[in-house]
Amino acid sequence: MAKPLQNNSLELKLAAPFEPLLNPRRYKVIYGGRGSGKSYSIAMLLVLASYQHPLRILCAREIQKSITDSVHQLLADTIERLGLSSHFEIQKTQILGKNGSRFIFEGLRSNVSKVKGLEGIDRVWVEEAESLTNHSWDTLIPTIRAENSEIWLSFNPLDEMDATYQRFVVEPPPDALVIKVNYDDNPWFPDTLEAERLHMKDKNLALYAHIWEGDCYANKDGAYYTNHLIDKQITSVPVDRALPVNSSWDLGIADATAIWLWQVDGKSVRFVSYYEASGEGIQHYLDALSDYKAKNRIQWGHHIAPHDIRVREWSTGQSRHEMAANLGINFDIAPSLPIIDGIESVRRLLSSAWFDEENCKAGIRSLRNYRKEWDDRRQAYKTRPLHDWTSHCADAMRYCAVSADQWESQPLVTLQSSRIKLATYVAGDSSIGY
């Protein structure tokens, strides 16, 4: 059933499952499969609300490289469809209402400091919320603190252990409205999508359940390392103080930085810890490593980073390689190989790898979910990896694997801890072995 909405001169139709969104709630969680009308309905309700009241609305997602990665176009189309074009100004990077309303579009991972600085946000809509990390949620939620502010999120859950699914579906916070919707809840579900739905149901039932029924995707189809991460190799792996601890990094500045810590024991590789954070300078990570060394009384071996660590930053005139050296750490540069070759190197490495279950938990989850990008048009996986919350962890592992043949031929590099300012650091659920 559809409910007509009378708002000034507008008459709109809203599918029955979305009617509770009309009532105030701190959290409005809408999840489910394709064709449910999630994004369509949310866009309509937010445009209507901003037409009636001067609201500041943040439209966010984990990664937004450009405005085309946002819901900007959907909102612009919705404004036109509702006949409200004269009430809004559609700009390149924002949408302004004649009554003072404003739609803002930001990626959370690459704009942490900017998001923290946002004031007076009345609504936030997080699209594709399944990709958000706990770190992003912990940054965003305290930012949305205006009186009667609301946090809206829409997503199709992928992994039942994802931060968003656990936080808002498994154990939702107080004052949360949680709605699951699918194609059969949409009275305007188009015939074209119906044909696609039936085709996938015949082709791949597990993928169908995820895409169309909104279920978590247990099959991990398209994942690179599904058959290479063996449960028996995930156990308690204490640090062996007789062996140096090596690190492999995928470095970001505003973006995430991921670090694997590992030891080589004969032909086996022991992954003893994993750490990831975003929006921090290199000093932050060196402090964390200093703390780790002091706590575990270990010696450092190799520190491996990608070749772009040599790129100079315009703001400092220094590369991160030079900055790190000035702070006491000298990086070895990982060989620059095609990504697919690196993935094969990881697969080979995993055959002789052991992981500490507790201290590598976040990294293991990322590796298990690292997968090929899906092509909606072809209904098939592309040959390249999907860039999402798993990418930095997987890249750091790849730099470890492609450097494997250099481990014994290169001299050990010692981290000069005396040159690194010690700091007390508490890292949340992805702590570096604490």
Please give the full DSSP string across 250-286, using - where no structure is assigned.
Answer: E--SSSEEEEEEEEEETTEEEEEEEEEEES--HHHHH
Reduced to 3 states, what is the DSSP secondary structure of residue 403? Answer: coil
pLDDT digits (tens, 9 = 90+) for 228-240: 888 889 999 999 9
Residues 331 and 320: their CA atoms lie apart, in Å, by 10
Q: Where among 180, 211, 242 does a domain terminate?
A: 211
The predicted pLDDT at position 180 comes to 96
Cα 392-254-387 angle, rounded to 5 deg: 35
Handedness of CA 316, 320, 325, 327 (dihedral sign): positive
Is position 314 within any domain? yes
Is position 217 within any domain? no
The predicted pLDDT at position 416 comes to 32
Q: Model-level pTM greater than 0.85?
A: no
Residues 134 and 430: their CA atoms lie apart, in Å, by 9
Residues 373 and 388: their CA atoms lie apart, in Å, by 10
157 and 242 in a single domain? The answer is: no
Interaxial angle between packed helices 391-402 and 339-350, expressed in degrees from 0 to 180 and rounded to the nearest 10: 80
Residues 35 and 211: their CA atoms lie apart, in Å, by 9
Residues 296 and 289: their CA atoms lie apart, in Å, by 10
193 and 104 in a single domain? The answer is: yes
pLDDT digits (tens, 9 = 90+) for 95-151: 999 999 999 998 887 666 677 777 789 999 999 998 888 888 988 999 999 999 999
Residues 25 and 151: their CA atoms lie apart, in Å, by 8
The predicted pLDDT at position 422 comes to 26
Is position 108 within any domain? yes
384 and 307 in a single domain? The answer is: yes
What residue numbers bound the domain in which 205 lies? 2-211
**Burial grade of 421 (CB within 10 A; 0-12, 13-18, 19 or more):** exposed
Is position 299 within any domain? yes
25 and 149 in a single domain? The answer is: yes
207 and 252 in a single domain? The answer is: no
Is position 172 within any domain? yes
CATH number, domain containing residue 376: 3.30.420.280
Q: Where among 144, 177, 211 does a domain terminate?
A: 211
Q: Where among 145, 177, 211 does a domain terminate?
A: 211
Low-confidence residues in the chain, pLDDT < 50:
1-8, 408-434
Residues 125 and 47: their CA atoms lie apart, in Å, by 12
Residues 376 and 34: their CA atoms lie apart, in Å, by 11
Pick the closest to residue 414 from 287, 290, 303 (CA basis). Answer: 303
Residue burial 43-60, b: 16+ Cβ < 10 Å; e: rest? bbbbbbbbbeeebbbbbb
Residues 404 and 342: their CA atoms lie apart, in Å, by 11
- CA end-to-end span of the chain: 53
273 and 391 in a single domain? The answer is: yes
241 and 98 in a single domain? The answer is: no
Is position 218 within any domain? no
Number of domains in the chain: 2
The predicted pLDDT at position 146 comes to 92
CATH number, domain containing residue 101: 3.40.50.300
171 and 245 in a single domain? The answer is: no
16 and 87 in a single domain? The answer is: yes
Q: Is 297 left (phi over 0), alpha (psi -120 to 50) or beta?
A: left
Please give the full DSSP string across 161-183, using - where no structure is assigned.
Answer: TSHHHIIIIISPPTTEEEEEE-G
The predicted pLDDT at position 2 comes to 45
* Number of neighbours of residue 288 by Cβ within 10 angstroms: 21
For 79-148, list the strands marked E by DSSP.
88-90, 94-97, 102-107, 123-127
Structure letter (DSSP) for residue 316: T
Residues 61 and 107: their CA atoms lie apart, in Å, by 5
